[in-house]
């Protein structure tokens, strides 16, 4: 019995081999595995794709295209590399495809192994380009993008339908060697991180970084993006400096009289810049050449802002795209027309903020007239001779230019329900002459009874400053977030008048005070550039003196006038980087002025800041006496105490012309030095586009 069991067990392997193997008594053998790669592919018409079959069996492979062995002209053909077996086939699509897709089938001789691939055929006239944009933002097509040191940025490749296209990413740098290279993490989305230490791109030797996306699908073309390690460009322009003029050309124009240099008239970029600008009278065109390598081809990806010294203003003016237009990009040049005549300018390029309302710099365009029809190029406003009112107004352009610069003329006139009229007016029209400007500063401050500075001053002045090299210790190509300009000197002479009746304590018959003074002032400008805004902060410390006579006064005797003056002027600009879609791109501006006048001789003073209650009658001396003003509030006295004045404005723009303005002021101004408490005024302000450093 045990022997029989042993024989049966020994027969089991033999029986298994008989019944499991091929043959009369066995089951059919499983065919060898077969696969094809890629299983889905896209080609353009007349394009080709290589297909590879993995098969280890002995049978020969046969290739079919839509059931036609080897294919044909209608569905495409299959060919094999010379000397190769049929495991690799090259499918070539027809030049004029009759179908949108075909099926390539590979079958063995015995028909037991079959595999298929789907080939999508794209018409040759379709859009096969891709664009590089920020990951998650298919609409953000970019040609350049700034990298923040140490901060990763994610990019993706998109087709014309906004779909992500798989790609291989590479970064190249020029010149090679010695330059930090951003790190790159591959994937459907590329992650680029720049080293923590930024690179200064202020000169022509700056490195150029290019991010290239090579689509995995051969139906799509490559795309490239310039990566910028420093998001700021600065081009310095100056009529009188040869090395600056070589990269920045300044051309004057007059639209009313059709005056422009013939060579400039032949430049489509200059003509386009003038006609697309907000300048209707005369001014200057700046044509700045971008020298830094990564930026030369990306002019339109920058928002261009300008700090400029003009013939029409003693102030340094600041213009944003919303003030004067976005300008024109022509090759590696930026061109902008300004409504002033430029002496020097710092042209800042800040990389664009993603903003759907942004107007990018334009391209030179063929000239068309007001009706949109092609016409010979001209810079004359197309309505100049077609509107009777405008025909009469255009000749005043030169006069208008004196008041057009921001800061040359602004102010407000308001009426109260009590019949009182308040004035807050400042004007400073200027004319460039010699090494400086002849200007006529005017200040008129007159308010309600409890906030009346009672001051009207007018002077003829001469401002002298460096226009050839205005900044201390800087070359024409310097980039700096801090600028110390050379000192500015002003001499002036003119009257000081009290527009309101004398305060209590003056002789009843005494007329309003009138002084005649002359003065000297020196200022030391300090400028900070940051937050994508030139002259973000400007501080102008002031030191000077005032001398003169009392032509008409309540004084018992006519003392001479001798005052020492110290103080500071300042301004602060903050662009709407977050809320600019709602409030516009013009920056919020804060301006301030502070003055202290030290008196050598007694002058009138009246304290309105510490008046007693309205029910308390005032008791004033019959004539001005020498005492502290606070000893007799509301009464005119004589004093040598220092006189202070301060004023601050917060301007929130609604558009380049209209702003909401908050003003706080207090202190005292000559000639009567009526000292008032803190006063606040809120209202709408109407002004010319742009701003000034002080």
pLDDT, tens only, 124-150: 766 677 889 888 888 777 777 777 777
Count Cβ atoms below 10 Å from residue 693 Cβ, excluding itself. Answer: 24
| pLDDT recorded at residue 489 | 96
Structure tokens at 197: 């230490």
Q: Which residues pair with 290 in a beta bridge?
A: none
Count Cβ atoms below 10 Å from residue 650 Cβ, excluding itself. Answer: 17
pLDDT, tens only, 346-398: 998 887 776 667 788 888 888 877 777 888 888 888 777 776 666 666 667 66
Q: CATH for 34-122, among 1.10.10.10, 3.40.50.10490, 3.20.20.10, 2.60.40.1080?
A: 2.60.40.1080
Q: Same CATH topology for 34-122 and 131-228? A: yes
Mean pLDDT of 185-212: 71
Asked whether 495 and 442 are in contact (CB, 8 A), the reply is no
131-228: CATH topology is Immunoglobulin-like (2.60.40)
Distance, first Cα to last Cα, the chain: 120
Asked whether 668 and 453 are in contact (CB, 8 A), the reply is yes
Identify the weakest region by mean pLDDT among 4-13, 83-92, 606-615.
4-13
Listed in order, strand segments (DSSP E) in 603-657 are 603-607, 636-639, 643-653
| pLDDT recorded at residue 653 | 82
Could you tell me which of 293, 366, 374, 693 has the C-alpha nearest to residue 533?
Answer: 693
The residues, ordered by sequence, that sit 6+ positions from 646 with a Cβ below 8 Å of its Cβ are 592, 593, 594, 595, 665, 666, 667
Measured at the alpha carbon of residue 632, what is the angle toward residues 506 and 612, in degrees to the nearest 5?
115
Q: Distance (Å, rounded) from C-alpha 287 to C-alpha 289? A: 7
pLDDT, tens only, 232-283: 778 888 887 776 677 889 999 998 888 898 888 888 899 999 988 888 888 9
- Rg over CA atoms, the chain: 40
Q: Distance (Å, rounded) from C-alpha 43 to C-alpha 37? A: 15
Strands 144-146 and 223-228, sheet pairing: parallel
Examine the pLDDT at 33 and tell me if it is beyond 80.
yes
Mean pLDDT of 288-302: 69
| pLDDT recorded at residue 523 | 96
| pLDDT recorded at residue 510 | 59
Burial of 331 from C-beta contacts in 10 A (0-12 / 13-18 / 19+) = exposed
| pLDDT recorded at residue 467 | 82
Structure tokens at 345: 């300018």
Asked whether 603 and 569 are in contact (CB, 8 A), the reply is no
Query: Which pTM does this prediction carry?
Result: 0.73
Locate the domains of the chain by residue range: 1-28, 34-122, 131-228, 235-351, 474-611+624-692
Asked whether 239 and 343 are in contact (CB, 8 A), the reply is yes
pLDDT, tens only, 445-491: 888 767 788 899 999 999 998 888 888 765 444 456 888 899 999 99
Inter-CA distances, 204 with 290, 292, 474, 534, Å:
9, 5, 17, 22
Structure tokens at 34: 């077969």
**Who has greater pLDDT, 244 or 541?**
541
């Amino acid at each position: 019995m045990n022997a029989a069991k042993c024989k049966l067990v020994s027969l089991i392997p033999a029986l298994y081999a008989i019944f499991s193997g091929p043959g009369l008594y066995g089951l059919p053998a499983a065919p060898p595995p077969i696969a094809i790669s890629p299983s889905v592919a896209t080609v353009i018409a007349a394009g080709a794709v290589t297909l590879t079959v993995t098969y280890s069996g002995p049978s020969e492979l046969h290739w079919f295209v839509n059931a036609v062995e080897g294919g044909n002209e209608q569905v495409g053909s299959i060919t094999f590399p010379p000397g190769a077996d049929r495991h690799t086939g090259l499918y070539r699509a027809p030049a004029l495809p009759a179908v949108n897709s075909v099926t390539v089938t590979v079958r063995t001789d015995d028909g037991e192994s079959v595999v298929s691939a789907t080939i999508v055929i794209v018409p040759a006239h379709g859009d096969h380009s891709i664009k590089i944009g920020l990951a998650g933002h298919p609409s953000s097509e970019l040609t350049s993008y700034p990298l923040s040191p140490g901060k990763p940025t994610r990019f993706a490749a998109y087709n014309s339908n906004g779909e992500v296209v798989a790609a291989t990413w590479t970064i190249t740098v020029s010149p090679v060697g010695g330059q930090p290279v951003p790190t790159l993490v591959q994937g459907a989305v590329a992650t680029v991180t720049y080293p923590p230490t930024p690179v200064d791109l202020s000169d022509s030797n700056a490195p150029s970084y290019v991010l290239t996306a090579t689509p995995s699908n051969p139906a799509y073309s490559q795309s490239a993006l310039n990566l910028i390690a420093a998001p700021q460009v600065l081009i310095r322009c100056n009529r009188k400096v040869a090395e600056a003029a070589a990269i920045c050309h300044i051309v004057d124009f007059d639209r009313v009289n059709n005056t422009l240099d013939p060579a400039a008239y032949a430049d489509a970029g200059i003509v386009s810049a003038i006609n697309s600008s907000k300048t209707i009278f005369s001014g200057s065109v700046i044509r700045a050449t971008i020298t830094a390598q990564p930026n030369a081809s990306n002019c339109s990806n920058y928002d261009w802002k300008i700090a400029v010294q003009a013939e029409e203003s003693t102030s340094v003016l600041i213009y944003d795209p919303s003030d004067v237009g976005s300008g024109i990009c022509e090759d590696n040049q930026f061109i902008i027309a300004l409504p002033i005549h430029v002496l020097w300018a710092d042209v800042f390029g800040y990389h664009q903020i993603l903003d759907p309302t942004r107007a990018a710099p334009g391209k030179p365009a063929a000239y068309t007239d007001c009706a949109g029809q092609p016409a010979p190029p001209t810079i004359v406003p197309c309505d100049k001779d077609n509107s009777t009112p405008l025909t009469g107004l255009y000749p005043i352009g030169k006069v208008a230019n004196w008041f057009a610069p921001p800061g040359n003329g602004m102010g407000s006139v308001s009426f109260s329900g009590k019949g009182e009229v308040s004035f807050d007016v400042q004007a400073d029209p200027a004319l460039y002459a010699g090494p400086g400007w002849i200007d006529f500063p005017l200040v008129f401050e007159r308010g309600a009874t409890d906030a009346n500075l009672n001051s009207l001053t007018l002077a003829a002045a001469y401002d002298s400053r460096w226009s050839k090299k205005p900044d201390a210790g800087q070359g024409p190509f310097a980039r700096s977030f801090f600028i110390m300009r050379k000192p500015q000197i002003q001499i002036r002479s003119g009257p000081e008048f009290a527009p309101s009746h004398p305060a209590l304590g003056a002789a009843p018959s005494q007329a309003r005070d009138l002084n005649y003074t002359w003065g000297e002032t020196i200022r030391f400008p300090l400028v900070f550039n940051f937050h994508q805004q030139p002259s973000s902060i400007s501080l102008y410390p002031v030191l000077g003196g005032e001398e003169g006579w009392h032509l008409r006064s309540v004084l018992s005797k006519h003392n001479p006038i001798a005052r020492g003056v110290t103080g500071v002027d300042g301004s602060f600009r903050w662009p709407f980087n977050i809320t600019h879609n709602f409030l516009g791109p013009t920056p919020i501006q804060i301006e301030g002025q502070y003055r202290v006048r030290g008196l050598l001789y007694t002058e009138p003073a009246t304290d309105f800041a510490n008046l007693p209650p309205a029910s308390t009658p005032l008791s004033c001396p019959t004539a001005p006496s020498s005492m502290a003003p606070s000893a007799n509030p509301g009464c005119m006295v004589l004093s040598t105490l220092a006189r202070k004045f301060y004023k601050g404005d917060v301007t929130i723009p609604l558009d380049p012309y209209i702003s909401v303005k908050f003003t706080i002021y207090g202190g005292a101004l000559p000639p009567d030095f009526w000292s008032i408490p803190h006063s606040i005024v809120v209202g709408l302000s109407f002004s010319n586009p742009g701003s000034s450093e002080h």
